[in-house]
Amino acid sequence: MTIGITYLPSARRGETPPRHFLEPPFRSALPSPLYFRVAHTPADAAYPRHSHSWGEFVYSYSGVMEISLADRHYLAPPQYGIWLPPDIEHQGLNRHEAYHCSLYVSRALCDRLPDTTCALTLSPLLRAMLEHLRQKETVADPSAEHQRFLQVVVDLLTEAPRVGSYLPWSTDAHLAPVLVHLQDNPGDNRSLAEFARLAGTTERTLIRRCQGELGMTFSEWKQRMRVLKAMPLLEGGETVDAISARLGYGNASAFIAMFKRMTGTTPDEYRRSAA
């Protein structure tokens, strides 16, 4: 089973306009064939919907960056990055404070990169190189050495595994209302059978819809949703006990075990790495 990013129908988003509007750094041309940029964005911020003639790789050091396309909505946890080929109309936004980077790649250097928007799993080496770039005082470095370093990053991106959706969505008439409810109420511990009765259908029907529409069980989808809900809370300094209660766990140990099983790290380890 693949993992990586979330997509939601664009109609599910955008009810409340963001409080902070940001401008894309370039409109018509890149200053160099490869250009690396780090940005800190406040909570509830958005870039306008736009497209450009170069490719863009987006990675979040902390927080969760969201990319909205015409027909779907991507959300990347920090272990993954999003690749946008040239000429793809998109909008960047974030619900919570985020610290992220973009690597802009001129069209001529995109040949070996994916020709469709996708998430990429980042190797430890690639994450270390992105962290090195973050720590540089000047990321807008036109030197040949810096361009060679960025080219190695691009080479690694071409080899990075493409992954499927971390938290897929469905527009199914019976399943979608359940997913919407859990997004808004992540601590709800009702069973699938109970949700089926509320939706006027059978548990067996919802089991089939989960496998067919989501590619996973209802339980796994709910755990992944809770992981994504927990990440910004951990980064915001909320205690593990408070988060576990908010997400419907009877004790912190159960939440910690779930989080480590799903991410490979404990909540406190995740909090330290994000900091």
Q: Tens digits of per-residue pLDDT, 191-237?
A: 999 999 988 999 999 999 999 988 889 999 999 899 988 988 998 89
Number of residues in the chain: 275
Query: With bands split at pLDDT 50, 70 and 90, how would you rate the model's confidence at 39?
Result: confident
Give me the pLDDT at residue 253, please.
97
User: CA geometry: angle at 88 spanning 117 and 4, to 5°?
Assistant: 20
Q: Domain 170-274 adopts which CATH fold?
A: Arc Repressor Mutant, subunit A (1.10.10)
Do the domains spanning 5-165 and 170-274 agree at the CATH topology level? no
- Beta carbons of 77 and 64 less than 8 angstroms apart: yes
220: buried, middle or exposed (CB in 10 Å: 19+, 13-18, 0-12)? middle
Q: 3-state DSSP call for residue 197?
A: helix
Neighbouring residues of 80: CB distance < 8 A, sequence distance ≥ 6 = 4, 5, 119, 120, 121, 122, 163, 166
- Beta carbons of 163 and 120 less than 8 angstroms apart: yes
**pTM for this predicted structure:** 0.69
Give me the pLDDT at residue 220, please.
92
Domains of the chain by residue range: 5-165, 170-274
Count of beta carbons in the 10 Å neighbourhood of residue 87: 11
Strand-strand pairing, 80-84 and 165-167: unpaired
Return the minimum-mean-pLDDT range out of 109-113, 195-199, 242-246: 195-199
Q: Tens digits of per-residue pLDDT, 118-175?
A: 888 889 899 999 999 998 856 667 789 999 999 999 999 999 998 766 777 788 899 9
CATH number of the domain at 5-165, out of 3.40.50.720, 2.30.40.10, 2.60.120.10, 2.30.130.10?
2.60.120.10
Return the higher-pLDDT residue of 44 and 275: 44
Give me the pLDDT at residue 94, please.
77
- Hey, what are 256's tokens? 């910690």
Give me the pLDDT at residue 71, please.
64
- Hey, what are 207's tokens? 């089991």
